[in-house]
Chain A
């Protein structure tokens, strides 16, 4: 009995001590030109790995650029990026690790919205400036002062540009009957907000308004209902997998609405790459775009073209870059590493990023950014506002190509 007990205990001890020792060792080694460390977690594996990796690439590109110019406040920038495996609990503990053990100079990370929501609380408690995509409007109404959506991924703003464009059309050309299918999660629900407001204003009858839970394995019934009800505009408020399922079903079932509006499924490069012509003509929104005449866009485009052979940088690449830009300007503006000083500076000054000029309100949000996009010939074109239009919109939607 004792032998087994001792054995078991020693195993426990050894394992715990070994791994505990691993955890005690803090982050990156520090050399002579002490680097500035930016730490946090991203989902590098698991369900959200694709977007997590794009965010990381955007951030690293920013670091490359800034280090080539002498660094931040004269010091080189380094990252300490943990993989939270698409797990919110881990995102929180890694954020705490970055702050309290690695004692990073700045915090980042937290994707998707559910993780960002949880990390915002951590940032607030530790009084660390936290620039991220946020967790949609509700998360910015919790009274956090250190969080900034710079720019945020705000479902509530996403379709503003699209509806403003629709408003510019003569009333008889606008669609009349809408089929709205929304994924039942924070992103989807925040997209609905915009639709409800504008549909009333534009006299669009929301004939079908249904939510679905992930996974959407078959969109056949959704399309059949939309067809049967003569819906001439389809809102697919979801992610890539359900967006693809919906588009494929729409094509196969010969559904020809005047317009298809996609949530955030069409912002990943795979949409254009995998769907090809079938992915064309969907409308969506964005807060970033390579063709916008903001500083840095052309450099990002060139880099992404060379390294990843893409026309225009993916949204999440841009996000990673833009968040770091904001942080950088806050740091140089306040000329300090003090989080509260940086926060106060950001709340009282403008920043110029690839997302344009932003000033932040007390919630940490800029003025609503709402560009309308349409995918035309495999490229994400800007449709609205008119002055930054890169291509005339194609409306109504042409027949599916066979």
Chain B
């Protein structure tokens, strides 16, 4: 049965990777790109949120830091497309470093207070970028578009995001099975007890937080290059932070599959509704979706299906 699972995964991965070769319309590449992005964001958030139980409500900050760092580097060093894509990695590292600096004091705070402190953090970063010309300012930043035909450039971005998603999900998979992950789950269950059992809670929390910031940072850089214009309102948006939390918990926090399901369903449904229903009605249906799913599956989708098979 394990083999069936691995086989399915391999098949899906290959199908996704090969998709651009079929020369689909650019929109499908772009849309799937955004789905991958939200999967990465939700799955990374899950490291600190779902597994460890520290709900970060400012995760868009890391996304935005990656975006602005990449855009700034591309402008300052006049990078080629390949270098720009590679520049997203140091951008991700920067996001991780910021997470380290901020996480150290903030992870000492528990529960709702941690949620609000991260919310404030996201606003602080947003306002700092807007106020400080050097960091980008309130005009936003432009990037040079890739000099390839659109089909090719979108395909490249698609593949890169796919690779990032696979890596992020691989890390997430490993986390679920590792001692690290077990430690995080212990922290979520009862932090004091975990401490008395010898789990190095402070160190694990910070590691989880830093790891959870790294991938969104890279994703942010890729997103910036995909739009070729970013503005603080676009990437530091509180709606993104909240949406990431909802996606992960909606699908099922603390599981490998949960954020994937949450991100895919919410993004696809939102797009489908906007395409077919009248604007306000689409939003109302979208809101109703949250309500209905939560009433029937109050612990997330994964948990519901898990229970059904007892």
Q: Please, how many angstroms separate the alpha-carbon atoms of A185 and B126 in the complex? A: 12
Asked if A88 CB lies within 8 Å of chain B CBs, one says: yes
- Is the Cβ of A15 less than 8 Å from the Cβ of B268? yes
- Is the Cβ of A142 less than 8 Å from the Cβ of B142? yes
- Is the Cβ of B231 less than 8 Å from the Cβ of A4? no
Q: How many pairs of A and B residues are in contact by the CB < 8 Å rule?
A: 138
Q: Which of A96-104, A158-166, A305-313, A330-338 contacts B (4 or more CB under 8 A)?
A: A96-104
Residue numbers of A with Cβ under 8 A of B are: 1-5, 7-9, 11-12, 15-16, 18-20, 22-23, 44-45, 82-85, 87-90, 92-94, 96-97, 99-101, 114, 117-118, 121, 124-126, 138, 142, 184-186, 188-189, 211, 213
Cβ-defined partner of A7 (8 Å) among B5, B130, B223, B309: B309
Cβ-defined partner of B4 (8 Å) among A2, A87, A213: A2
- Is the Cβ of A92 less than 8 Å from the Cβ of B227? yes
- Is the Cβ of B8 less than 8 Å from the Cβ of A9? yes
Listed from nearest, the 4 A-B pairs whose CB atoms lie closest are A44-B279, A100-B25, A19-B268, A83-B279
- Is the Cβ of A88 less than 8 Å from the Cβ of B271? no
- With both beta carbons as reference points, the residue of chain B lying nearest to A142 in the complex is identified as B142
Dominant SS among interface residues on chain A: helix
- With both beta carbons as reference points, the residue of chain A lying nearest to B142 in the complex is identified as A142
Asked if B172 CB lies within 8 Å of chain A CBs, one says: no
Residue numbers of B with Cβ under 8 A of A are: 1, 4-5, 8, 25-28, 30-31, 34, 127, 130-131, 138-140, 142, 145, 150, 153, 223, 226-229, 231, 233-234, 237, 239, 257, 260-261, 264-265, 268-269, 271-272, 274-276, 279-280, 282-283, 301-302, 305-306, 308-309
Q: Please, how many angstroms separate the alpha-carbon atoms of A16 and B264 in the complex? A: 7
Q: Please, how many angstroms separate the alpha-carbon atoms of A186 and B230 in the complex? A: 12
Q: Please, how many angstroms separate the alpha-carbon atoms of A339 and B75 in the complex? A: 31
- Is the Cβ of A23 less than 8 Å from the Cβ of B275? yes
For A89, list chain B residues within 8 Å (CB). Answer: 34, 223, 227, 234
For A114, list chain B residues within 8 Å (CB). Answer: 140, 229, 231, 233-234
Between A and B, 9 residue pairs with Cβ closer than 8 Å are A8-B261, A19-B268, A44-B280, A87-B237, A94-B274, A97-B27, A97-B275, A124-B145, A185-B233
Q: Please, how many angstroms separate the alpha-carbon atoms of A93 and B34 in the complex? A: 9
For B227, list chain A residues within 8 Å (CB). Answer: 88-89, 92, 118, 121
For B130, list chain A residues within 8 Å (CB). Answer: 184-185, 213
For B5, list chain A residues within 8 Å (CB). Answer: 2, 5
Smallest Cβ distance from A343 to chain B, in angstroms? 17
Contacts A87-B237, A88-B227 known; list 6 others, CB within 8 Å: A8-B305, A15-B268, A83-B282, A88-B231, A96-B27, A114-B234
For B229, list chain A residues within 8 Å (CB). Answer: 114, 117-118, 121
- Is the Cβ of A20 less than 8 Å from the Cβ of B280? no
- Is the Cβ of B268 less than 8 Å from the Cβ of A101? no
- Is the Cβ of A93 less than 8 Å from the Cβ of B231? no
- Is the Cβ of A11 less than 8 Å from the Cβ of B138? no
- Is the Cβ of A184 less than 8 Å from the Cβ of B1? no
Cβ-defined partner of B280 (8 Å) among A45, A93, A121: A45
Smallest Cβ distance from B232 to chain A, in angstroms? 9
For B275, list chain A residues within 8 Å (CB). Answer: 22-23, 82, 97
- With both beta carbons as reference points, the residue of chain B lying nearest to A1 in the complex is identified as B1
The interface centre, meaning the residue of B257, B261, B271 with most chain A CB atoms within 10 A of its CB, is B271
For B25, list chain A residues within 8 Å (CB). Answer: 100-101
Do A121 and B26 contact each other (CB < 8 Å), given the known contacts A9-B8, A89-B234, A213-B131?
no
The interface centre, meaning the residue of B130, B139, B276, B301 with most chain A CB atoms within 10 A of its CB, is B139
- With both beta carbons as reference points, the residue of chain B lying nearest to A190 in the complex is identified as B139
For B264, list chain A residues within 8 Å (CB). Answer: 12, 15-16
Smallest Cβ distance from A377 to chain B, in angstroms? 35
Smallest Cβ distance from A315 to chain B, in angstroms? 21
Do A90 and B308 contact each other (CB < 8 Å), given the known contacts A23-B31, A97-B27, A101-B28?
no
- Is the Cβ of B1 less than 8 Å from the Cβ of A2? yes
Cβ-defined partner of A23 (8 Å) among B127, B239, B271, B309: B271
- Is the Cβ of B150 less than 8 Å from the Cβ of A8? no
- Is the Cβ of B276 less than 8 Å from the Cβ of A22? yes
